[in-house]
Amino acid sequence: MSLRQKEPLNLIITGVGGQGNVLISRLIGQSMVDAGLQVTVGETYGASQRGGSVASHVRISKDTQYGPIIPEGHADVILGLEPVESLRILGLYGSPKTFVVTNIRPFYPLSVATGDAEYPRLETIKQSINELSAKAWYIDASEIALNLGAPLLTNMVMVGAIIGARLLPLTQDMFESQLEASFEKESLTLNLQSFRMGLTARY
């Protein structure tokens, strides 16, 4: 049985408030509802506008609705917009069977910016994620988005990356029609561009 048929398929989308976490969890969720699947999205964004950790739990099933929180050890896929947030969520909800697709650009917490704490080196993060997961993809999504002149679309690049890695029951066409229904004109063009760059991005 491939991961995409797993029942339920448990996805966690994580990042920092302001990175557009909630938006992509809603778009991914709605695309799957449109494809006739049952979806629940549980969002934690109490502090999302204030640089806090944000996580959306997305639960996908053919016919059953699941609860808004994934039990410990039951995350199948983690989509991370920020590397230490990916590691944090993997540590809480992961297992040796979990797949991780993460952006590699750090968003420093205040404790690091103030010099009170240290941010781990990217190599350390990768090593830890590799040790705790089945397989991981590392994407320089912020760089790709920046090159497109749209740093805020890092989230769309990452959606492209996870669909490109074939970890979700979601195709390029399905997600693109969701984008077409949600954005207009220039904004749509940029979102589509970022998404497509993500589809083919590899570490």
Interface ranges with another protein (CB under 8 A): 16, 26, 29-30, 33, 38-47, 49-53, 65-74, 84-85, 87-88, 90-92, 94-96, 107-120, 124-125, 128, 131-132, 151, 181-182
Q: Are the C-beta atoms of 156 and 19 separated by less than 8 Å?
A: no
Nearer to another protein, 77 or 199 (CB): 77
* Least gap, CB of 154 to another protein (angstroms): 10
Q: What are phi and psi of 40, to 5 degrees?
A: -125, 135
CB atoms within 10 A of CB 91: 11
Residue number with CB closer to another protein (131 or 187): 131
Residue 110, φ and ψ in degrees, nearest 5:
-55, -40
Alpha-helix residue ranges (DSSP H) falling in the chain: 21-34, 83-93, 110-113, 122-132, 141-147, 154-164, 172-182, 185-200
Which CB, 164 or 191, lies closer to another protein?
191
Give whichever of 94 and 160 is closer to another protein, judged by the CB atom.
94
Q: Which residue has the tokens 């629940």?
A: 40
Give min distance, CB of 122 to another protein, in A.
11
Separation between Cα atoms, residue 57 and residue 76, nearest integer Å: 11
| Distant-in-sequence, close-in-space partners of 168: CB < 8 Å, separation ≥ 6 | 4, 9, 11, 28, 32, 60, 77, 162
How far apart are CB 3 and another protein at their closest, in Å? 18
Smallest gap from Cβ 165 to another protein, in A, equals 22
User: DSSP 3-state assignment of 44?
Assistant: strand
Between residues 86 and 199, which has the closer beta carbon with respect to another protein?
Answer: 86
Least Cβ distance, residue 9 to another protein (angstroms):
14
| Smallest separation, CB 166 to another protein (Å) | 23
CB of 63 or CB of 173, closer to another protein: 63
